[in-house]
Amino acid sequence: MLNLVHDSDCGAPFDCDTRVDDRMSSETRRDTPVVTGPGVIGNGAPLAVDRVASARHDVLMEFFEIMEQTPRKAASELIADILRKSREITRAEAGSIFIVRRDGIGRRLEAASVQNDVLPLELTDFAIPVDTDSIAGYVAATGETLIIDDLYAIPTGRLYSFNAGYDERTGYRSRSMMCFALKNYDGDVIGVVQLINRRGIACVEALPFTAEEKALILPVKRVLGSAIERALMHQHIVDANAALHNRNDELREQRKHIVALQSETEEAFMLAINMLARGAEIHDPDTANHIIRTNQYSYFIAGKLGMSGSFCDEISFSAQLHDVGKMSIDTSVLKKNGPLGPDERDEMNLHPVYGHQILADTDRLGMAADIALSHHEKWDGSGYPNGLKGEQIPMSARIVALADIYDALRAKRCYKPAFDHETARHIILNGDERLDPAGHFDPALFAIFAENHGELAAIWDRFGG
């Protein structure tokens, strides 16, 4: 057992975790500068301590140079570079690095880099269980370093065995191997390095790995293990970030799609209630423009009153449904060309109730239902159908009541001519035989009309008056 070169990584004797199989072949002895004691190397010559230390230093520097670039490298690149450098230092013709992955409660080794100077190779996905059956699995399970001079002549009694399947498939001839665990600073095995077939300077046959290669490379195995672990974690974060970005992109696209669908749904909704409003007023001339203007007046008055944006938006489409209950009124009453009799008036005065019944079950049309029910209520309580008074009347209905009356005054009806703006303004502000402004309107709305009636006139002019 070679046990006199100390492993600076673990503080234990260098060979404390190393098993050497088939060590003393004659070829091995010829090629190998075997360490036989402190200060002695090879065939008894004084150990060139300075030379070994210098070589170790050089190896460290070369690995550090690779690791320095880690932040700019993908983990796979770093692993390939470490394997390449390990092979260069040990003169290994081929090699692999496996990474330990969690597999439920168990662990497996996944090939992260495979290199061979003789055979062109492509890294394929394969995994080896972390157990003592295979060489790499054994090293991962135990943390031991194995140096095997001839893979086809492993002494009996070993738990592990060599799988010759790769050689059989490719015609490659594996012979010698050095296999060691990569550990992190906590001492956990994070991977395994397999180096295969050490090449001599002038030898055709593969040579066994020696204490010299061990002495050069094993002291840095924890440094390498930790660097690879860091690179894998960094890669994991980079991959997770990329996945997150992709997911964000997907979500952004989905949001755009949802917004488009919402927009289409909103358009369909607006179209449906507009058709409903027009259907209710089909017997009145200028129906389409009347409902547009009523929406516009109401939106303007609500804004002047200082109502919230959502209130203004809601009233801008809800106002048009104020007379939707007329759909339930007998056509003979609706189309009567002359004053209504008492029963006909009673029937007509039910249209707010019918309108409320039509709209009340739809959450989105809650304001429209309020307007439909209460747009004929009056501030002094003399309106219908419920005789609500003052602030008992929903604000939306008070606004639409004013808007509806202004538009009715401007429009031609069977019982009256169309009035110009000045006439309509005068009637609303001063009253006539049919209208008592003080009893009819919310004083706040009355004041807004008195100050801004020109804007209502502009709406009338703009929308087909």
Which of 5, 60, 96 has its CA nearest to residue 223? 60
Which two tokens mark 303? 């804004």
* Residue placing its CB nearer to Fe ion in the complex, 31 or 344: 344
Residue nearest to Fe ion according to CB distances in the complex: 323
Residue closer to Fe ion by CB (options 6, 278) is 278
149 binds Fe ion (CB under 5 A): no
Q: Pick the stretch among 52-60, 117-125, 189-197, 323-331 that binds Fe ion (CB under 5 A).
A: 323-331
3-class state of residue 376 by DSSP = coil
As a whole number of angstroms, the distance between CA 396 and CA 299 comes to 10
Q: Using CA atoms, how far apart are residues 430 and 47, in angstroms rounded to an integer?
A: 121
Rounded-to-10 torsion of CA 322, 325, 327, 329: -130
Which 389-428 residues touch Fe ion, going by CB under 5 A?
A: none
- Among residue numbers 14 through 73, which ones bind Fe ion (CB under 5 A)? none
Nearer to Fe ion, 48 or 360 (CB): 360
- The least CB distance from residue 442 to Fe ion, in Å, is 17
Q: Can you say whether the dihedral through the CA atoms of 43, 45, 46, 47 is positive or negative?
A: negative
Contact region for Fe ion (CB under 5 A) — 5-13, 228-236, 258-266, 316-324? 316-324
Q: Which is nearer to Fe ion, 86 or 320 (CB)?
A: 320
Taking the complex as a whole, the smallest distance from the CB of residue 253 to Fe ion amounts, in Å, to: 46
CB 195 within 8 A of CB 86: yes
How far is 62 from 305, CA to CA, in rounded Å? 79
Between 323 and 407, CB nearer to Fe ion: 323
The interface region with Fe ion, picked from 121-129, 185-193, 315-323, 365-373 by CB under 5 A, is 315-323
Which residues are the active-site residues? 326
Q: Which residue is listed with tokens 């450098």?
A: 85
Number of residues that bind Fe ion (CB under 5 A): 1
Q: Which of 17, 281, 323, 442 binds Fe ion (CB under 5 A)?
A: 323
Whether omega for the bond prior to residue 219 falls within 30 degrees of 0, making it cis, is: no
Instruction: Compute the distance between CA of residue 310 and CA of residue 265 in angstroms, rounded to an integer.
Output: 18
Question: Under a CB-based contact definition with an 8 Å cutoff, are residues 397 and 355 in contact?
Answer: no
Question: Shortest gap between Cβ of 322 and Fe ion (angstroms)?
Answer: 6
Which positions lie near Fe ion, rule CB under 5 A?
323
